[in-house]
Structure 1
Amino acid sequence: MNSNTSFESKNSEIAINPKNPMSDSLKEIKSQLTALHQSMAEVQEEFASLLKSIHPVNRESGLNFLKYLILRKTDVRDLQLLLHENGLSSLASCESHTHRQIQVTLQHLGSKFGELDPCTMELGTKKIEENSQRLFGEKSENWPSAVMVTFDASFLKEKDLISKLLKKGMGTARINCAHDDESVWQEMVDRIRLASKETGIPCKIHVDLAGPKIRTKLLAKGRKKGRVKIENGQTVWLSNTSKGFRAKDTVISPNEPGVIEGLKPGDRVFIDDGLILAVVEKAEKDKAELKITRISSKKPFIKNEKGINFPDCSLQISSLTDFDRECLNFVCANADTVGFSFVRSAHDIADLRLALQEIVADIPFIILKIETHEAVKNLPSLLLEAMKDEVCGVMIARGDLAVEIGFERLVEIQDEILWLCEAAHVPVIWATQVLENLHKSGVATRAEVTDAGHAARAECIMINKGIHTIEVLKTLRDISQRSVALRIKNRLVFRPLNIAKDFF
C-alpha cells in the first residue's frame, strides 16, 4: 500500500468509524449538511400541489430542482471549504442530484438513511440527455453538443448549402419570424426537408416567435431621414404621437403600446443594443422626458428600427403579440420546437400553450428565451410552468439579456441559468454572437474563441446569420471537442443566489 492509499484509508476511518471521535470541523460539516438534508426532506410535502401540476415524467426533476433552490438560497461557501479540506464532496457538481449528494456525503460521516433520494447523478444525466435528444435530435458525429443554425433568405440562393450544413453538423435549423415572411419561411422548411431526405441526415425545425418589437421610430426631427444626431446631456422624448411637440424636438416612439405608461423618473433606457443610455427625467401618462447620459457609438445618431430596453421597469405589454398569434398556424404545421421571445412570467407560458392547443393537440416543444431582467428573476417559476409539458428547453439569448442586466453581469447570469436548468434537467441553448467575427469577416477574435469553449457546456449551441457559416461550424466543432475533453465540471463556489431567495 502506498502512502496516498494509507492516508485515504485513515481519513475514511475518521469519517465513518463511530468509535473515532470526530474533529470539530467534521462535526460542523455534519451539522450543516444535516440541516440541509432536513430542509430538503420537507420539500415534497410542502410543494405537493405544485409538483402535482408538473408533467408526471418531470416530477422527479421538479423535486430535485426545488431541493437545489434550497441549497442555493443558503450561503454554503464556508461549508464547501470545510468539505474540500476534509477530502469530501464540496457539492460543486451536484446540480442534477442535489439531495442524493448530500445524503451520500453524510453517510461518510456516519449518518444512516432508510432510503436514499432516488435522483442519482446517473438518472439526472440520463434525463438531460433524453430531453436534449427530444428537442434537438441525435448529436452529429464528433460533436459534444447539438448545433442550431439560423437561416437567412440568402441560404435559398446557394445550391447545396443546406446539404453542406447538415454534413458539417447542423441538427436544427432556426427560422426567425422577426424577419422575412411566411412564404420565405415555408420555402426554407421545404428546402431543409428536401436536403435532409437527400442526405439521410435528420434535421429539426425551430421557429422563433418575434415577440414585442420595441424599436425606435422617429416622429418629429429626423423622421424623413430615419436618423437624428444627438449629444450627451441632450433632452429627447418618448411618445406615441408627435402632437404637442415642436418640429425640432427629438421624439421617439417605442412602437409598442403600454411601454411609456410603466416608466418612472430615474429609470434607465438603453437604445441600439445599449450603445446609447438615457435616464427618465419626467414621466407622464403619454410621454416621458429623457436625458442622454452616455453615447458609446462613434456615430452619435439615433436611428429608426433600433432596439430599446427598459431594465428598471416591468413593462405592461404582452409577451405574445397579435403578430405572434398569426404565426402559430405556421409554427404548428412545421416546427418541432418554438422559441418564446421576451417571455417574462409563468402566465405568459400558459397563454402560449393554450394558443397552441387551440390549433393542434400535439404542440411543438416550447423553448423559453431568457432575454429580460424579469425572466432572470422569475426563472424558477418559468421552469416549473414549462415542466408541465413533457419536454421543454431554455435559450440564453445573450443579446438583449446583456443590455437588460448589464454587460458586466452576463457571465454570472449565464452560469446561473446553466446551473438552474441542469438541476431541473432542462436542456439549454447557448445563443447570440457565437464566433460572430469569424462568421462575418472570416477571422475569429481570441475572446470569442474562449466564449465558444464555454458554449460547449450547453446542450445546444446556436449560431446566427453570416457569410462564413461552414467555417464557423468547422471551428466550433474543433473548439468544442477540445473544451469538453478538458473537463466535465468546474469546481464551483456557492454564494447564495437571489433567484433562489426570491422564489422562497
Structure 2
Amino acid sequence: MTLPGKAEMPERPERLLEELLALRDEITGTADTLIARFEAVGARITPEVVNLAHYLVIRHHDLRPLQRALMWRGLSSMGRLESRVLPTLDAIAASLAALCGRVSPHPAPTEAAFFTGEARLEAATDALFGAPPLRRRCRVMVTLPSEAAGDAAFVLGLARAGMDVARINCAHDDAAAWRSMTAHVRAAADAEGREIRILMDVAGPKIRTEAVQGPKDRMKILAGEALRLVAAGRPRVSEEVPFSASVSLPEMVTRLVPGDRLRYDDGKLEGVVESLGDGEAVIRVRHTKTGGTKLKPEKGINLPDTALGLSPLTAKDEGDLATVVECADMIGYSFVSRAEDIDLLEEVLARFGAAGSPLGLVAKIERPEAVKNLPDLIARVAGRRPFGVMIARGDLAAELGFTRVAEMQEEILWLCEAASVPAVWATQVLEELVKTGLPSRGEMTDAAMAARAECVMLNKGPAVAEAITLLDELLGRMDAHLFKKTPRLRALKSW
C-alpha cells in the first residue's frame, strides 16, 4: 500500500479489512516463534509476555500507510496500541466489517478487555512502588546523599516534599550508613502516614578513573591530545602522551583493541584507542567540552565498542546484597545485559533467603546489549517478582551517543508499556534546579515529559527538596493532559 496522493483513490474498506486481518494472522503466527524463544530463557508465558511478543512482531512492520488509510476514516491511528495489540486490531476490524456490511471473524473487545493492559501496568506499578500518591500517577524517586545517614530531619523533609521512593546507591558509604538511611526513611514514612519504598542500587563493575596525572600547569585535555590508561601502577605521562590515568577495572585495558571508542565523564570527552602496550592503552582524543575536559579521579568510563565479558555482579555486590535483602524493598541491578544475568542475581538472592520473596527488581538499562536483549530480560522476570526498568540516560547516552538516546528512551518506554512493566525516567532530571535552586527551561519540559513513565528519579543536590515539590505539582498537572502516549482532552482554560 502507498500513501494516498492527489491522483490516487484511497483503498476501499473491504481491502483495508482484508489487509488488517492478514496482518493479525501474521502477528499471531510469528509471535509463536518469539514466545518459544522466551520459554527457552526460562520465561513464564503470562498475558503480558504474549502481548509483548505481539508488539515486537507488529513493530517490525512499517504501519504508516495503513495508519493513514485508517485515520481519515476516523477509525484509529494505531499509535497507542502498546498495551493492547490484538484488542486494537480487533476493534478496528469490527468497525471496518460494519462499514462493509460484514461480520469480523474476531469480535470486537469489550471495554474492560480493551483496557486490560492499562490495568495490568497499574497493578505492576503498585506492586513495585507501592500505592500512588493522591494527586499523581508517576512516583518520585530521590537519591539519598551520604549525610542522610546522620540526619533524620533531612529525610523527613524529603518525605514531606513528596518523595515516594528513596534510592540508596551502594557505590557509596557502607552497610552501617545504609541501615541508618533505611531507618530514617521508615520513620519518615510512619510520620507521614504513607508507605515510602526503598531501592538499593548495587554498583556493578563500573569503570572509573582512579589516580590521574597531567601537565603541572593544566589538567584539561584538548581534542587532538593523547591520554594513557594504565592497568596497574601509577599513571605514566610523557611528552607525546601528557595525560594518564589508572582505572578501577584493570582488565578493561587488556580487552581494548585499536579503533575502540572511549567516552569519559558522561561523554564530556570522546576518543579512540590508538595503540596498545604492556598493560596500557593510548587514547587519541577526538572531542571534548569547549575549552577542554578536566581529567579527574572517580569519573566514569564507557566503552561502547568493547566486549568486556564482565559479570554484572562483583564480589563487593554479592557482599552488599546481604544488607540489601535486609533493608530494601527493591534492588537496582546495574549493568544487567542478558537473561542469564537475572539467573545470576537470583542465585545470590537464594543464598540470602530471598528466593521467592516479594523483593522487587529494577533492571538498569545502560549498555547496547541490554537494549538489544530487553525483551528477553523482561520475559525472564515476568510473573516471578515485582519488576521495573530504569532508563539510565547518562550511561546510555555515553554508550549509544547523544543523538540516539532520546529515540531509544522512547522505544524503551513503548516496550515496557507493551509488557506492563513500570519504567523509571532517570539521570539529570531537573539537574540545574537540584544543584542551583533554579531550573532551566529545557529541563522543565523534560520533567513534564517524564509523566509518561511510572517513576522519575532525582539525583542528590542542595535544592533537591525544592525539586521534589516542583515535580510533585508538575506531574500532577501533566496527569490531566497525558497518559503514556495518549493525550487527555481536558478542558483548556488559557483562552
Per the TM superposition, whether the score is higher than 0.5 is yes
1:380 — aligned with what? 375
Q: Which segment is superposed worse, 118-127 or 393-402? A: 118-127
Q: Give 1:50 shift.
A: 4.6
Q: Which segment is superposed worse, 202-211 or 39-48? A: 39-48
Q: Distance in 1 between matches of 2:441 and 2:300?
A: 28
Q: Give 1:239 shift.
A: 3.0
Q: Distance in 2 between matches of 1:489 and 1:47?
A: 25
Q: Distance in 2 between matches of 1:211 and 1:131?
A: 26
Contact 1:346/1:381 (8 A) holds in 2? yes
Q: Which segment is superposed worse, 295-304 or 314-323? A: 295-304
Q: Give 1:387 shift.
A: 1.7
Q: Distance in 2 between matches of 1:433 and 1:243?
A: 33
Q: Distance in 2 between matches of 1:276 and 1:451?
A: 24
Q: Give 1:190 shift.
A: 1.2
Task: Note if 1:301 corresponds to 2:299.
Answer: no
Deviations 1:350-407 (A, max 9, x none): 1112111221134421100011122112211221122252321001111111111111
Q: Distance in 1 between matches of 2:59 and 2:195?
A: 39
1:136 — aligned with what? 129
Contact 1:140/1:170 (8 A) holds in 2? no
The one of 24, 33, 38 equivalent to 1:46 is 33
Q: 1:309 to 1:41 in 2, by over 3 A?
A: same
The one of 448, 451, 455 equivalent to 1:453 is 448
1:321 — aligned with what? 314
Q: Distance in 2 between matches of 1:54 and 1:243?
A: 46
Question: Which residue identity is paired with 1:369?
Answer: K
Q: Distance in 2 between matches of 1:484 and 1:352?
A: 35
Contact 2:452/2:485 (8 A) holds in 1? no
* Long gaps (5+) in structure 2: 1-8, 98-102, 488-495
Contact 1:54/1:62 (8 A) holds in 2? no
1:9 — aligned with what? none
Q: Distance in 2 between matches of 1:129 and 1:115?
A: 26
Q: Which segment is superposed worse, 387-396 or 96-105? A: 387-396
Contact 1:51/1:63 (8 A) holds in 2? no
Q: 1:317 to 1:285 in 2, by over 3 A?
A: farther
Contact 1:432/1:464 (8 A) holds in 2? yes
1:241 — aligned with what? 232
1:122 — aligned with what? 115
Q: 1:162 to 1:239 in 2, by over 3 A?
A: closer
Q: 1:114 to 1:306 in 2, by over 3 A?
A: closer
Contact 2:324/2:331 (8 A) holds in 1? yes
Secondary structure of 2:166's counterpart equals strand
Q: 1:102 to 1:463 in 2, by over 3 A?
A: same
Q: Distance in 2 between matches of 1:134 and 1:401?
A: 27
Q: Distance in 1 between matches of 2:420 and 2:397?
A: 24
1:485 — aligned with what? 480
Q: 1:153 to 1:251 in 2, by over 3 A?
A: closer
Secondary structure of 1:343's counterpart equals coil
Secondary structure of 1:265's counterpart equals coil
Secondary structure of 2:132's counterpart equals coil
Q: Distance in 2 between matches of 1:33 and 1:157?
A: 61
1:407 — aligned with what? 402
Contact 2:163/2:196 (8 A) holds in 1? yes
Q: Give 1:411 shift.
A: 1.5
| Aligned counterparts, 1:325-404, within 5 A | 325-360=318-353, 361-363=355-357, 364-387=359-382, 389-404=384-399
1:195 — aligned with what? 188
Secondary structure of 2:61's counterpart equals coil
Q: Distance in 2 between matches of 1:322 and 1:28?
A: 61
Q: Give 1:159 shift.
A: 5.1
Contact 1:367/1:394 (8 A) holds in 2? yes
Contact 1:438/1:444 (8 A) holds in 2? yes
| Aligned counterparts, 1:49-68, within 5 A | 49-50=36-37, 59-68=46-55
Secondary structure of 1:404's counterpart equals helix
Q: Distance in 1 between matches of 2:62 and 2:42?
A: 29
* Long gaps (5+) in structure 1: 1-21, 493-504
Secondary structure of 1:24's counterpart equals coil
Q: Give 1:246 shift.
A: 6.0
2:77 — aligned with what? 90
Q: 1:65 to 1:243 in 2, by over 3 A?
A: same
Contact 1:207/1:338 (8 A) holds in 2? yes
Task: Note if 1:32 corresponds to 2:19.
Answer: yes
Q: Which segment is superposed worse, 126-135 or 244-253? A: 244-253
2:92 — aligned with what? 105
Contact 2:268/2:293 (8 A) holds in 1? no
1:79 — aligned with what? 66
Question: Which residue identity is paired with 1:406?
Answer: G
The one of 415, 420, 437 equivalent to 2:415 is 420
Task: Note if 1:147 corresponds to 2:120.
Answer: no
Q: Distance in 2 between matches of 1:242 and 1:207?
A: 33
1:276 — aligned with what? 269
Contact 2:38/2:380 (8 A) holds in 1? no
Q: Distance in 2 between matches of 1:293 and 1:160?
A: 47
Q: Distance in 1 between matches of 2:141 and 2:235?
A: 48
Q: Distance in 1 between matches of 2:24 and 2:373?
A: 25
Q: Distance in 1 between matches of 2:432 and 2:37?
A: 45
Q: Which segment is superposed worse, 359-368 or 94-103? A: 359-368
Contact 1:257/1:317 (8 A) holds in 2? no
Secondary structure of 1:369's counterpart equals strand
Q: 1:43 to 1:246 in 2, by over 3 A?
A: closer
Q: Distance in 2 between matches of 1:163 and 1:80?
A: 50
Question: Which residue identity is paired with 1:410?
Answer: V
Q: 1:454 to 1:246 in 2, by over 3 A?
A: closer
1:167 — aligned with what? 160
1:69 — aligned with what? 56
Q: 1:359 to 1:157 in 2, by over 3 A?
A: closer
Secondary structure of 2:483's counterpart equals coil
Contact 1:337/1:367 (8 A) holds in 2? yes
Question: Which residue identity is paired with 1:89?
Answer: S
Q: Distance in 1 between matches of 2:454 and 2:235?
A: 52
Q: Distance in 1 between matches of 2:391 and 2:237?
A: 42
Q: Distance in 1 between matches of 2:436 and 2:237?
A: 43
Q: Give 1:460 shift.
A: 1.0
Question: Which residue identity is paired with 2:115?
Answer: E
Question: Which residue identity is paired with 2:360?
Answer: F
Q: Give 1:171 shift.
A: 1.7
The one of 241, 248, 265 equivalent to 1:255 is 248
Question: Which residue identity is paired with 2:127?
Answer: R
Secondary structure of 1:259's counterpart equals helix
Q: Which segment is superposed worse, 300-309 or 439-448? A: 300-309
Secondary structure of 1:197's counterpart equals helix
Give TM-score scaled by structure 2 length.
0.87
Secondary structure of 1:456's counterpart equals helix
Question: Which residue identity is paired with 2:191?
Answer: E
